[in-house]
Structure formats: C-alpha cells, structure tokens
C-alpha cells in the first residue's frame, strides 16, 4: 500500500486534483490551505520547504525565493484571519488583490527582491509596510504589549 501524502505534498495533491494547471491562483490556494490547517507561522516553513524541494527536484533550485515565499504566506495569512472562509473561491473573491502576482511590488522595490539576500533569506519590505504593520504602528504602545 502506498502511504498517503502529508504536509505540502497533500496540499499540492488537493489543489492539483481540481486544477488543470498550477499557476498563481493555485499557489495562493495551496498557501490558503496551509494557513488554515497549520497556522501562518507553521505555514511559512511548510510552504517554503515544499517550494524549495519542488524547485530542486525540477532541477531549478534557483527558482526558490525565500522572501517571496514568506511574504506571500504572511499576506494570505493576514487576509485569512479577517474572516473564516470555508471555501477558497469565496476567499479569493473577497480578496482579489491576492490574485495579482505583482502584489509584492507594492511593498518591495524590484532591486530589493532581485538581490541575493532576499533570495536566500528574509528581507523586510522597503517601499511600504505590510497591512498588519500599519495597524501595529497606529495602536498605542500599551495595546501592542498586551
């Protein structure tokens, strides 16, 4: 008997079972599933490791990008926390900005994302803060500490 896939492989199988391709929407879908099932923090590692492993297996390890992977998981996690959508289509309809694969250009300069530091590790946004960072800045220090 073949063992049932777990983690990233199970999520990938679930998304590709209903999709004829694996484009940006499917990446967001996989990320949404990971965030919903494991939480944003755990999903960062799960998705990043899975993408990195998939890129290596495909003979293209250079396609893995650490900052891009983490940023997308955190963006999806932020929006998924706003409302408990049980259906990815409803989630995607409510947050169409996530289906724009150029979304990270709102937060990062192209040169920043092209740099080796961003490719191999985490780099903070250098154009605009992520939405949850803006909220943190508006709250008084006492509320942030709670």
Q: Where are the alpha helices (DSSP H) in the chain?
A: 7-18, 24-38, 40-57, 66-82, 88-94, 110-114, 116-120, 131-138, 141-145
pLDDT of residue 34: 96
Alpha-carbon distances of 138 from 97, 135, 141, rounded to whole Å? 23, 5, 9
Domain limits at 80?
Answer: 7-145
Q: Which of 11-25, 67-81, 97-111 has the lowest mean pLDDT?
A: 11-25
Please state which of the ranges 25-39, 72-86, 124-138 shows the lowest mean pLDDT. 124-138
Q: Which of 113, 104, 83 is nearest to 95 (CA)?
A: 83
* Residue 72 within a domain: yes
- Residue 2, domain member (yes or no): no
Domains of the chain: total: 1
Q: Mean pLDDT, to the nearest integer, of 113-120?
A: 96
Evaluate whether residue 1 is within a structural domain: no
Q: pLDDT averaged over the chain?
A: 88
Q: For residue 30, is it within any domain?
A: yes
Please check the confidence at residue 101 and state whether its pLDDT lies above 80: yes
Q: Is residue 136 part of a domain?
A: yes
Kindly indicate the confidence band of residue 135, based on its pLDDT and cuts at 50, 70 and 90: low
In this predicted model, what pLDDT tens digit does every residue of 28-49 receive, in sequence order?
A: 999 999 999 999 999 999 999 9
């Amino acid at each position: 008997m073949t063992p049932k896939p777990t983690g990233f492989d199970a999520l990938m199988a679930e998304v590709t079972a209903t999709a004829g391709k694996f484009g940006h929407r499917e990446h967001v879908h996989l990320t949404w599933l990971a965030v919903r099932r494991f939480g944003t923090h755990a999903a960062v590692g799960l998705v990043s490791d899975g993408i990195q492993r998939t890129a290596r297996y495909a003979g293209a390890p250079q396609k893995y990008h650490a900052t891009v992977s983490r940023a997308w998981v955190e963006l999806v996690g932020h929006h998924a926390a706003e409302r408990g959508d049980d259906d990815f289509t409803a989630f995607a309809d409510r947050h169409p900005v996530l289906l724009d694969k150029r979304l990270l250009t709102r937060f990062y300069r192209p040169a920043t994302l092209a740099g080796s530091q961003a490719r191999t590790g985490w780099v903070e946004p250098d154009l605009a803060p992520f939405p949850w960072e803006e909220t943190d800045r508006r709250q008084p220090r006492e509320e942030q500490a709670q």
